[in-house]
Structure formats: structure tokens, C-alpha cells
Amino acid sequence: MKERIIFHIDVNNAFLSWSAILYLKDGYKKDIREIPAVIGGSEKSRHGIVLAKSIPAKKKGVVTAEPIYQAKKKCKTLEVYPPDYRWYYKKSYELMNYLKQYSPLIEQYSVDECFLDMSGMDYIYKDYIKLAHDIKDEIKEKFGYTVNIGIGNNKLCAKMASDFEKPNKVHTLFKDEIAKKMWPLPVGDLFMVGKQSTKLLNSIGIKTIYDLAKYDEKKLKKHFKNQTEHLKNSALGIDESKVTPRSNITTSISITETLPYDIDDQDKLKEILFRQTEEVTRQLREQKQYTKTVAIIYKNSNFINYSAQAKLPNPTDNTKTIYKKVIDIFNKSYKEDPIRLIGVRLAELSKTKKQQLSLFEEDEDIKDTEIQKTVDKINKKFGAASVMPASLKVIGRSRNKKQFKDRK
DNA sequence: TCTGGGGTCCTAGGACCC
DNA sequence: TCTGGGGTCCTAGGACCC
């Protein structure tokens, strides 16, 4: 069988590059890619971490996901710009759409990354490496930002290759290059080997990917159990997984929110949960999916995470039904601790609601959902707060009543 | 003014049934 | 009688990715 040819395309400093373009378009004099700058959340509302960094910021030691205050310590002149997710999704869509012309087998891996399966296309594209350069250059010309392209015989190698040297580069990691290009790297650089695994691997003397590739599998199994084979294969550059174009099939939808200050007032938390349930179910209906599992996610003021979940008797996309379950879960799981982050997750999603309900219940559910869909539409057209369900108003009132009572 | 948000997948352990 | 064990479903928690 012929070797596969896979491209991995990765936008360099995506959020920062895309924001830079937006600012330039709007007449901003600076290109934030050329100064020490980061995209980050607001520190005031406790969202202050680095989401993306410019190359000058990187040179000062600024890393992704660190607190902004810490980044500022490393770089006194650091400039912080807010994220603009709508714009990012727009740019993402534009890029993926453009890349489709090169292969129908495209898998979007994240907002700024995708795999292209180019196997068997050599009758169109004679030279894959030249093609990759052409794509890279055309993206720069057409859209104004740079990408890295990694080429390999499978997704793993393509992904590893695109990570080699940045920005604006094409790298290959074919089978016969693994020993030379991949094995010398620290084991933590291997895809899917994170902090915890790195620690464990280092502790048993595995420092490089080569060490892992050559390590006795039986001994490895003691520590990594069922993951051993996958781990070992990765180190050897083996990966059979296919490039699978996914049609907006998600297995879960969630919304979490770091609160501007810790909250232990149950009414307030329920209010937030209601808002989140509305949004998350709106997304669910948008995707034309139904959920069977509802969960609440908490992080308390000590950064301790916990969660609780429960199953619904039947798949649904009904806000009321789901919110009822959310409250149920909340009452059983909330530990009365000050909450820093709270969120709602819907899991076990399906495209159909195969259910056996009594006719009455089903009618109620459908009638209700029809109303919600109309509300979704109106909100989409006129802005989020145009139509507010009565239940939210009731919650608002009860809160006011309580505040009034508190003042007395 | 210290530490985000949205995902996927895996595992341990308990409940329950036969 | 001195305490099985397999299978399945479910939940909580954690690792990992961007």
C-alpha cells in the first residue's frame, strides 16, 4: 500500500495575528505582532491569562496560559489586547473554506488548526513540499497572516512537524526522518504527553522520545496500563487514525464562567445557572441535538474542582426540563463553599430523541420547545434580551424581593 | 489585579442484577 | 456454609488538547 500524505496546518499565534489584522484594517497604526503584546482576558474580572502572544513577547519569556500579571513581570512594556471570538470564528471559517479546495478530506482540529489528507493526489500535485509552500504563501498573500505546515505519513507526524520551527515554515516528518527529527526531542514534546505523563516518564528515566521508543513495553505497562500501546506507538511515529471531516457532531456542549468575585449565595448561583442553561440549550437546539446527561461544574475559591451529573429519562432540548434537572443536581451537589467558577454541561448528545413518553408529556415538551425556538429566532434577529422567558423575570423579581428583605 | 473556556477521552469504583 | 464473580450502567474526577 502506498504511504499516506497528511498535511497539518496551524495558524501562527492565531488570536494575536487575527486581532492584528482586524486592528490594521480599522486603521490602528501598530502591528501588534511586531511589539511585545498578548491577547488576554480582563484581570479585573479574573479572566486574566495569556491566550496568545507575539514573537517579541515570547522572546521575553511570556508563555501561553500564564497570568497576565506574571507576564507583565517578565516584560515591562507588554501590551494586552482583549480577545474577539466572533472575529476569530470568522477567520477560522474563511481559512477552512479556502483549504477545502486542496482536498475534500479536511478535518478541523481546533479553531486555528486542521489536517488535510493529500494521499493519492500526486496526479494533481506533483510535489507535495512545493504545494505546501504555495499554500502557505498564498494564505499570507490572501489573508495577511502566516501559518506553519507539517507534512507526514500520518496525522501524528504531520502535527509534530508543524510544531518544529515557527513561524511561516513548512516541515516534513516522514517515516525515514523520525529517528533524526523526532527522537532527540524531550518526551514532553510528544503529542498527548502532558505534564503529568512527562513527570512519570522522567521519573523512570525516560527523557527523550527516543528513550520512550526503546523502553521495555512490559515495564512501561506497569505505569501506563492500557495507554502503553498508544504511547509507544506515538514514540515510534505510528498512527493509523484517519482524517475524518466532522460535520458539527459534538459529544458535549458546555458553558463555564469564572465569576468576577466568589459567590456562595445560592439564589445568585441559581440565577447564573439559569442563564447558562438558556445559552447552552440554545446551542443545543441550534445544532439540532438532544441531550441525555446534564452536569454542573464547580471550582471553588481554593481552586478545587468538583462536578455532579445526572441522566434525564429521555433525550430533550427543552430548557425548562433541563433547568429543572440542573436545580436538582445543584441542590444535591453544592457544598456551600464560595464559588469561583460555575458551569453547565450537556453530554450524551444525539440527533434524534428516541423516547417513550406519555402522550401528554411529549405534547408539553414539544409545545414548549417550539416556543423556545421562536424565542431563539427573535433573539438572534433583535439581540439577546429582546424576549425574555417569564421564568427569568420571576427569578429577577425574587432576587429583588430578597434584596429588599436584606435591606430591612 | 494571580491562576480562562471549550472540548475529548479514560478510569476507578459503586450499585445492581443474575 | 463464611462471603463468588461476571456484566452493565452510572458517576466523579482527571489528563490532555487548543
pLDDT given at position A355: 54
The C1' atom of C15 and the CA atom of A141 lie apart, in whole Å, by 39
Q: Which nucleotides of C are covered by protein (CB under 7 A)?
A: 10-18
Q: Cα(A120)–Cα(A170) distance, rounded to whole angstroms?
A: 20
Q: Which residues pair with A346 in a beta bridge?
A: A253, A294
**A16 and A140 both lie in a single domain:** yes
Q: Which residue is nearest to nucleotide C13 (CA to C1')?
A: A306
pTM of the complete model = 0.88
Are A61 and A170 in the same domain?
yes
Residues A100 and A196 in one domain: no
When divided into structural domains, chain A yields a total of 3
What residues does A73 pair with on adjacent strands? none
Q: What pLDDT does A396 receive?
A: 32
Separation of A295 CA and C4 C1' (Å): 36
CA distances from A83 to A51, A211, A220, A235 (A): 8, 40, 42, 36
SS3 A72: helix
Nucleotide nearest A113, from its CA to each C1': C18
A174 shares its domain with A230? no
pLDDT score, position A352: 86
> In Å, what is the CA distance from A298 to each residue of A89, A253, A347?
27, 16, 16
Instruction: Reply yes or no on whether A113 is catalytic.
Output: yes
Q: Whose CA is nearest the C1' atom of nucleotide B5? A: A256
| CATH (domain of A171) | 3.30.70.270
A193 shares a domain with A75:
no
Return the CATH number at A303.
3.30.1490.100
pLDDT of residue A387: 54
Looking at the fold, whether A24 and A152 belong to one and the same domain comes out as: yes
The verdict on A104 and A216 lying in the same domain is no
Residues A262 and A177 in one domain: no
CA atom of A220 to C1′ atom of B12, Å: 20
Using CA atoms, how far apart are residues A171 and A133, in angstroms rounded to an integer?
A: 10
Residues 6+ apart with CB under 8 A from A28: none
CB A88 within 8 A of CB A22: no
Q: What is the DSSP letter of A339?
A: E
Residues A132 and A264 grouped into a single domain: no
Q: Does residue A64 contact residue A50 with C-beta atoms inside 8 Å? A: yes
Cell of A142: 490572501
Residue of A66, A107, A113, A278 with catalytic role = A113
What range defines the domain where residue A352 resides? Answer: 253-382
Q: Residue written as cell 438572534?
A: A380
* CATH number of the domain where residue A206 is located: 1.10.150.20
Instruction: Flag whether A395 is in a domain.
Output: no
Verify that A110 and A197 share a domain, yes or no: no
Q: Given A193, A209, A235, which residue is the final one in a domain?
A: A235
Protein-strand B interface by C-beta, 7 A: A 41, 43-44, 46-49, 51, 64-65, 67, 69, 110, 225-227, 250-258, 283, 303, 341, 343
Q: Kindly state whether residue A356 falls inside one of the protein's structural domains.
A: yes
Residue A289 lies in a domain: yes
Name the domain boundary from A182, A206, A223: A182
Query: Do A95 and A198 belong to one domain?
Result: no
Residues A258 and A254: their CA atoms lie apart, in Å, by: 13
Report the alpha-carbon distance of residue A366 to residue A374 in Å, rounded: 12
Cα dihedral across residues A15, A21, A24, A30: positive or negative: positive
Q: Which nucleotide is closest to A256, CA to C1'?
A: B5
Residue in this structure with the C-alpha cell 505523563, named with its chain if needed: A197
Contact A314, A355 (CB under 8 A): yes
Buried b / exposed e over A48-78, threshold 16 CB at 10 Å, is: bbbbbbbbbbbeeebeeebebeebbeebeeb
In a domain, A74, yes or no: yes
**A259 CA from B14 C1′ (Å):** 34
Q: Report if residue A303 sits inside a domain.
A: yes
CA A29 from centre of chain: 31
Residue A188 counted as domain residue? yes
User: Does residue A406 lie in a domain region?
Assistant: no
CA proximity to A77, closest of A57, A91, A59: A57
In this structure, the answer to whether residues A228 and A266 fall within a common structural domain is no
Task: Give domain status of residue A60, yes or no.
Answer: yes
Domain end call among A182, A198, A218: A182
Residue A63 to residues A37, A39, A83, A199, Cα–Cα distance (Å): 11, 12, 16, 20
Residue at the smallest CA–C1' distance to nucleotide C18:
A110
* pLDDT value, residue A200: 95
Mean pLDDT per 10-residue segment, chain A (408 residues) = 92 98 96 97 95 96 95 96 96 97 95 96 90 98 98 98 97 98 98 95 96 95 91 97 85 97 97 98 96 97 97 96 97 97 97 60 62 72 53 35 31
- Single-letter code of the amino acid located at A244: T
